[in-house]
Amino acid sequence: MAQHILNQRPVSRRPISRLCRNGFFLLPLVLLVLLGVVLPWLGSPLLYNTSSSPSFPPSLSYWREYSLTQATKFVAKNGSTVIVCTVSYPFLPFLNNWLISVSRQNHQENVLVIAEDYATLYKVNEKWPGHAVLIPPALGSQTAQHFGSKGFFKFTSRRPQHLLDILELGYNVMYNDVDMVWLQDPFQYLEGSHDAYFMDDLTKIKPLNHSHDLPPPNRKGATYICSCMIFLRPTSGAKLLMNKWIEELGSLFWAKPKEGNDQPAFNWALNKTAHEVDVYLLPQTAFPSGGLYFTNETWVKETKGKHAIIHNNYIISYDEKMKRFRDFGLWLQQQRPISNRPISFLNRNGLFLLLLALLFLLGVYLPLSEAPLFLFPNRTSPSSSPSPSFVVSDWRDYSLAQAAKFVAKNGTVIVCSVSYPFLPFLNNWLISISRQKHHEKVLVIAEDYALLYKVNEKWPGHAVLIPPALDPKAAHHFGSQGFYNLTSRRPQHLLDILELGYNVMYNDVDMVWLQDPFKYLQGSHDVYFMDDMTAIKPLNHSHGLPPSRNGVTYVCSCMIFLRCTSGAKLLLKKWVEEIRAQPWSNTEAKKPHDQPAFNRALHKTTQIDVYLLPQSAFPSGGLYFKNQKWVNETKGKHVIVHNNYIVGYNNKLKRFQDFGLWLVDDHSHQSPLGKIELVQEENNEEKKQKERGLNGNMSQKRNFL
């Protein structure tokens, strides 16, 4: 499969003379200031380079296939210990905060981030290659955020299997939740050679010399050990505990009244293996619960200097956790991170140079880019595109109503729905639309969080995700259930936009515009579409719904224009209804997608005013790519070319290249997303060689950004 790595270079139309001799003198000065003054103050491995060794940029396909075995071998130091956390995309700020604290204890190299979604996998490995792995299946990025939810239960219930897998590979493993902060090195408290180490989650104050055994159960037969900070040695006892934990979780199903998580099952497992596993309760003074540390100021003062890891629990909600960290000075991203350089390094000259650097960036360098902060590189219009006028704290909260209002021009929105692997095809399609000056109307409906964040990073406001997110890899293959799940959502998306009062054009991204299609939307019909047949029609063919054979037409659902009329809405509602009556089945004879249901809906809503677009302008791929004679005879008439009648990402890509329709290689500057380089996936022998050399290479190629 062809893969890709995103790179962009902003294009400016201002003359180079803006950078006079003084400008060229100031530029290296600015770089020296940033490298010598600012960068040493950064504290997280996601924010800076810790070595001067070259970068390591594998393709995205590599990270999808990156195994736990490879990842643990890469991060384990002294061949023994891995520090693990599990994270979904919304908690990246907490991950970064935790990493700053771990870095201050010089243990960041041991960290392995188990990404629970592809957005996290790609983002962490983009900034910190090799330190994130995804153990399928991926979870929805947003569903795991809320404590007590079903998504949160699914998220936490995978934890013991992850830890057991690492133990089976022969490593010690420390697990932390990312709502923790390290104040001291916790490894100094791991006394002896016990199987499992953990902390109590109670708020009741223990004596300083309290027992390190498993606490006795309460009247209900339960202990309250925290499952959010655990250290395990690769012993038979630790593995037994993990297996029992998994077993207990298997008998604990999520239900709304229970709102389960993994901690009760962990405590049951501890009590049921108490005589077989050697456990060690860590000192409360060093590992207090959030219910003690954040609510008992007297105890905190009495034990000052003894705290090792602070857990921000006993509080629910993302915003409340962040606020409490800030209130207690533990939100480290807003502090000046610790540096080994003395504070005197920032003397008067240093402060002067820093101010000079900021003035230079604001007054000289930034005006050279066409868009603020280079987020809109390679624009085709002379003016930069505006960001949304409203405030978006997180693109997860960006609604379809906001997005449609932002992109709509003259009451019209151009829509596509895309999963992350098809980003190069999206870019190719966007280049062709930009040439017709219609790109500002485009709204990308992202089917996964990786694509949502990537598009809005490059082109703010032009992508929206309508939950639930899909697995980007599963949606890649025609005929698969993932592909069906992706395409079957299409009519609801279009209906939602119509209900907002906009006309909407839908395109698949395996299309290329050669001319402006809007001039072919004659009249004021409800719906416009193209035929998907390969049989040649007369140039003056009818624009009514084609007659059916055996009750079936073959109208394409991949290029549709809908006016905001009651007729168009009726058609989409019928299309949704027909899809719901057509479940996916894993048989060759029955692998449905959305197009048969679209055709049935057309026949069952004959009261709708429809318009069949001219075949010469909107040919199917089965005609355009296979009938050279017809293409020559209709030369100059083609408007949108659809790369269908072929299955497979690589096959579609090659056919576009063969016919001169793959535009991204030479014309990426015409796309709002910038340049995309495709990296061909290696053959089997190359893969084997790469895997054999991976760990040696990666140990030399640490690239912290």
Q: Please provide the average confidence, as pLDDT, over all residues in the chain.
A: 78
66-334 shares its CATH topology with 395-674? yes
Locus of tokens 């003056």: 540
pLDDT given at position 488:
77
pLDDT given at position 333:
78
* Spatial separation of the C-alpha atoms in residues 224 and 228, rounded to whole Å: 12
Share of the chain above pLDDT 70, in %: 70
The model's pLDDT over 600-650, given as tens digits with 9 standing for 90+, comes to 999 899 899 999 999 999 999 999 999 999 999 999 999 999 999 998 899
3-state secondary structure 173-194: EEEECCCEEECCCHHHHCCCCC
- For 258-285, what is the mean pLDDT? 87
Task: Indicate the burial class of 500 (C-beta count within 10 angstroms; 0-12, 13-18, 19 or more).
Answer: middle
Task: Indicate the burial class of 182 (C-beta count within 10 angstroms; 0-12, 13-18, 19 or more).
Answer: buried
Residue 335 pLDDT greater than 60, yes or no = no
pLDDT given at position 581:
80
Locus of tokens 């027992």: 211
Residues in the chain: 705
pLDDT given at position 19:
36
Helices (H) and strands (E) in the chain, counts: 25, 20
Residue 478 pLDDT greater than 90, yes or no = no
Residue 11 pLDDT greater than 60, yes or no = no
Range with the poorest average pLDDT among 83-87, 230-234, 256-260, 394-398: 256-260
The domain spans of the chain are 66-334, 395-674
What is the model's pTM?
0.55
Answer whether 431's CB lies under 8 Å from 664's CB. yes
Q: Which candidate, 28, 50, 30, 27, places its Cα nearest to that of 40?
A: 50
Share of the chain above pLDDT 90, in %: 54
The model's pLDDT over 499-547, given as tens digits with 9 standing for 90+, comes to 999 999 999 999 999 999 999 999 999 999 999 889 999 999 999 998 7
Q: Which CATH class, in words, describes the domain spanning 395-674?
A: alpha beta
Q: Which CATH class, in words, describes the domain spanning 66-334?
A: alpha beta
* Spatial separation of the C-alpha atoms in residues 53 and 556, rounded to whole Å: 52
pLDDT given at position 241:
97
Where does the pLDDT of residue 694 fall: very low under 50, low under 70, confident under 90, or very high at 90 and above? very low
The model's pLDDT over 212-229, given as tens digits with 9 standing for 90+, comes to 999 988 777 779 999 999
The model's pLDDT over 21-68, given as tens digits with 9 standing for 90+, comes to 344 445 445 444 444 444 433 466 775 444 333 245 566 678 988 999
Q: Which tops the pLDDT comparison, 463 or 483? A: 463
- For 178-199, what is the mean pLDDT? 96
Query: Could you say which DSSP state residue 422 is in?
Result: G
Answer whether 364's CB lies under 8 Å from 19's CB. yes
